[in-house]
Chain A
Amino acid sequence: MRGFLAIFAVELKSLVRSKSLLAGFVATVLWMWFLPEILTSDGTSDGARELYVKYSLGAVFAAATVAFASAAAGSMALERSRRTLHLALVRPVRIFCIALAKTCASGVAGAALLLVAAAVLLFKCDASRPASRVLDPELEPVSAEARRMYEAYMSDPDTPDEIKKADRSLVIGILKRKAAEHYATIRPGETASWSFPAVPAGAAKASVGFKFATAFSGRYAMKGTLFFADGEKTEIEEFTQETVERDLPQAGKGRGVKISFRNGGSEALLLRPRKDVKIRYSMSGDIFAANLAFAWLELSSLLFLSVSFAVFLGASFGRSVAVFAVLAALFVSVAAPAAVEEYDGEVSAPRMERISSAVSRAVAAAVMPFDAVSPVGDLASDRRIPTGETVAVFAADAALIPLAFAFLSAIAARKRED
């Protein structure tokens, strides 16, 4: 433990005395403080606030990840080239301990930088603003819907031969993404219904939100009636593309909720059940300040994860290769899921495109558990970050995976010395 603390302290001193940490703190405070002055929004104060939260904290997190991951990768490699690593390796301390201490030092410094950003955010925003928990409608799983769509495609004589001959898992994969974005159509006079899990009886405030569209995505003055299970109803008149929010009747709390909508207009309305219908509610203590604390913990954990991977690269390669590999890995881990989301026509694509698409998919699948966590987006949209998610992210990204990478770093460093 003494060895771990000694290396941890030296790493922190290195960051502090190089003035890079101080420069990071100053830049963070300036960015967080003056961003609202240069940010333009759609004019509403809520919109401006959402943009501010998203881009201020999001940018600091991105910059901190790149900076501290590069520093951590360089640190291990630099110590090897300076031979100070040799002097540590001949002492009674395990390389695992050296790698872990370096990870923790860079991770703690990064977390401190994020804490500074969070403190400014707390000062600039309303700390007591409510944050909502979200319930999605109970629908069949995406994979089941995709399989159903697949069977329908295959039995349809108009389906092109190349799709019928394509690999089943490939087509199912495409259909899964389509199912997640699947639009339901509600024609004039038709009624659509959605069942939700129970809203806790102690919920302070609950509402249901919709976002409708039309086939041509224009701003159409839609109207209709919203029915709640207990016979209560409310009329809606709003433009499509706007979020329609209505309070949930008190009677709906504590048990499952069924909500129906009857299209009272003259045009068919479209809506993605998995994305455009939600129940929002708040429990006591669900405020921005608490949500910010959860977001900070998740972001710090993700930073720890990046840093531990960087230390592993630093233990495996020379300084320049390690730093380049870290930057490339961070870029690919961000780009791959976006590329997969944008590009799904690989059934008919040339062979090279299919190969690169498969590589992107493999990377996206590997980073999916981390990519799925979006504390900044949740914080900006006042969505209460689930406690369970934060605990899981912390345990995996700030504890288990860094320990595994420290172990791998020790093996890599020894192999490299030999």
Chain B
Amino acid sequence: MSVLAYPVEVSGAAKTFRDFWLRPSVKAVDGVSFTVKSGEVFGLLGPNGSGKSTTIKMILGLLKPTAGDIRVFGAPPRSIEARKRLGYLPELSYLHPFLTPRETLEYYAGLCGLPRREAARRTDELLEMTGLSAVASRAVGTFSKGMARRVSLASALIGKPDLLILDEPTSGLDPVSTAEVKRLVKMLSANGMAILMTSHLLSDAADVMTGFAILDKGRILAAGAVKDLKGTLGEYFLSKVGEGAGFKIAPFLA
């Protein structure tokens, strides 16, 4: 594994799901290629069912590509080397409901192999940073969606990752917390962390992203840098994907 390797290299990745009889049923991703550099906030954008989540799962090593190649810091995504440098915030907060935030963070610190003392220190830091110190001993099963989201975010950061994958990071957060998360993302990327994120909130995404790729029907429609856009990211997105795609409103209202 080279230290100079890109945090994420996706070349010609494709994923076809098969049915019970192993016949190809859905081509979710079809020859996607892009790279994410250190210090970059790269957005994977697209309408529902465009292949964003499948692409992210392949980068995380949860799914095996049917074709193409994916490298995380030059290593296969399923290798221990790649996973040591990776943090992941899923779209929904998947937490053990009977654990407290402190125990949750200590659990993930254990999975990341952090020594006990460092795990305890890092847990305290992240509880403080996410504003969860006061409720650190309450079971997360009793938390609101927004508070659970904070626990998930802290869990994603516990292993000091070099690559952070955020799936709808501001989903379920109030405006103040959303602003804090955006500030955090900017700070982390300024410190050299590579960030790959998806978001449907294009105005929020445009505030933090530096590069992006727009996916539709498993293919990349467009890619580039946010600073090079003439108008807003939202306008550009709609011009590529098409307004009202999938909806037939006019006949319904008639």
Interface residues of A (CB under 8 A from B): 2-3, 5-7, 9-10, 13-14, 17-18, 82-84, 86-94, 417-418
Chain B 49-71 near chain A by CB (<8 Å), digits 1 or 0? 00000000000111110000000
- With A10-B99, A92-B80, A417-B62 in contact, do A84 and B94 touch (Cβ < 8 Å)? yes
From 94 to 140 in chain B, residues with beta carbon under 8 angstroms from any chain A beta carbon are 94-96, 98-99, 103, 106-115
Stretch of B83-91, B227-235, B244-252 on the interface side: B83-91
A83 to B57, CA, bound (A): 12
- The answer to the question of B46 belonging to the interface, with a C-beta cut-off of 8 Å to chain A, is no
The answer on a CB contact under 8 Å between B90 and A87 is yes
Q: Is the CB of B111 within 8 A of A3?
A: yes
B92 within 8 A of A: yes
Q: Judge if B155 is at the interface, Cβ distance under 8 Å.
A: yes
Question: Does chain A have a CB within 8 A of B159?
Answer: yes
With A2-B113, A3-B110, A13-B103 as contacts: A90 and B83 at CB distance below 8 Å: yes
Chain A residues in 8 Å Cβ range of B80:
92, 94
- Chain A residues lying within 8 Å of B159, measured Cβ to Cβ, are 91-92
Contacts of A10 in B (CB 8 A): 96, 99, 103, 107
Chain A interface helix/strand/loop/mixed: helix
* Interface residues of B, count at CB 8 A: 30
Q: B11 → chain A, closest Cβ, in Å? A: 20
- Contact A92–B113 (Cβ < 8 Å): yes
- Extra inter-chain contacts (20) besides given A2-B110, A6-B106, CB under 8 Å: A2-B114, A2-B115, A3-B110, A3-B111, A3-B112, A6-B108, A6-B111, A9-B107, A10-B96, A82-B94, A83-B92, A86-B60, A89-B61, A90-B60, A90-B83, A91-B83, A91-B112, A92-B83, A92-B112, A94-B80
Q: Which residues of B contact A82 (CB under 8 A)?
A: 94
Interface residues of B in 165-202 (CB under 8 A from A): none
Q: Return chain A residues, CB-CB under 8 Å to B98.
A: 13-14, 17-18
Residues on B with beta carbons closer than 8 Å to the beta carbon of A91: 83, 108, 111-112, 159
Q: Are A14 and B96 in contact (CB under 8 A)?
A: yes
A417 touches B63 (CB 8 A): yes
A9–B108 Cα distance when bound, in Å, is 12
Q: How near does chain B come to A276, taking the closest CB pair, in angstroms?
A: 55
Task: Decide: B62 and A6 in contact? CB cutoff 8 A.
Answer: no
Given A18-B98, A86-B94, answer yes or no on A92-B62 (Cβ-Cβ < 8 Å).
no
**In the complex, which residues of chain B have a beta carbon less than 8 angstroms from the beta carbon of A418?**
63-64
Q: Is the CB of B111 within 8 A of A93?
A: yes
7 nearest A-B pairs in the assembled complex, by CB-CB distance: A6-B110, A91-B111, A83-B94, A17-B98, A92-B83, A92-B84, A92-B80
Shortest distance between the CB of A246 and any CB in chain B (Å): 61
What is the minimal beta-carbon distance from B18 to any residue of chain A, in angstroms?
10
Chain B residues whose C-beta falls within 8 Å of the C-beta of A17 in the assembled complex: 98
12 examples of A-B residue contacts, CB within 8 angstroms: A2-B110, A2-B111, A2-B115, A3-B113, A6-B110, A10-B103, A14-B98, A86-B62, A89-B61, A92-B83, A94-B80, A418-B64
Q: With A and B bound together, what is the CA distance between A10 and B99 in angstroms?
A: 8
Tell me which residues across on chain B come within 8 A of A89, comparing CB atoms.
Answer: 60-62
Residue with the greatest number of chain B CB neighbours at <10 A, chosen from A9, A18, A83: A83
A415: shortest Cβ distance to chain B, in Å?
10
Chain B residues with Cβ below 8 Å from A87 are 88, 90, 94, 108, 155
Cβ-closest chain B residue relative to A97:
B111
> Chain A's nearest CB lies how many Å from the CB of B196?
13
List the A residue with the shortest CB-CB distance to B84: A92
Q: Return chain A residues, CB-CB under 8 Å to B62.
A: 86, 89-90, 417
Bound-complex Cα distance A2 to B114 (A): 8
Q: Chain A residue with minimal CB distance to B112?
A: A91
Asked whether A6 and B92 contact (CB < 8 A) given A90-B60, A417-B62, A418-B64, the answer is: no
Give the one of B88, B109, B110, B113 with max A CB within 10 A. B110
A84 touches B95 (CB 8 A): yes
Q: Which residues of the other chain, A, contact B106 by a CB distance below 8 angstroms?
A: 6
Give A104 Cβ to nearest chain B Cβ, in Å: 15
- A88 and B111 in contact, given A13-B103, A83-B90, A417-B63 (Cβ under 8 angstroms): yes
Residue in B closest to A94 when the chains form the complex, CB atoms: B80
Q: How far is the CB of B98 from chain A (nearest CB, A)?
A: 4
- Interchain CA distance A3-B115 in the complex, whole Å: 11
Residues of B within 8 A of A84 (CB): 94-96
Task: Give the chain A neighbours of B92 by CB distance below 8 A.
Answer: 83
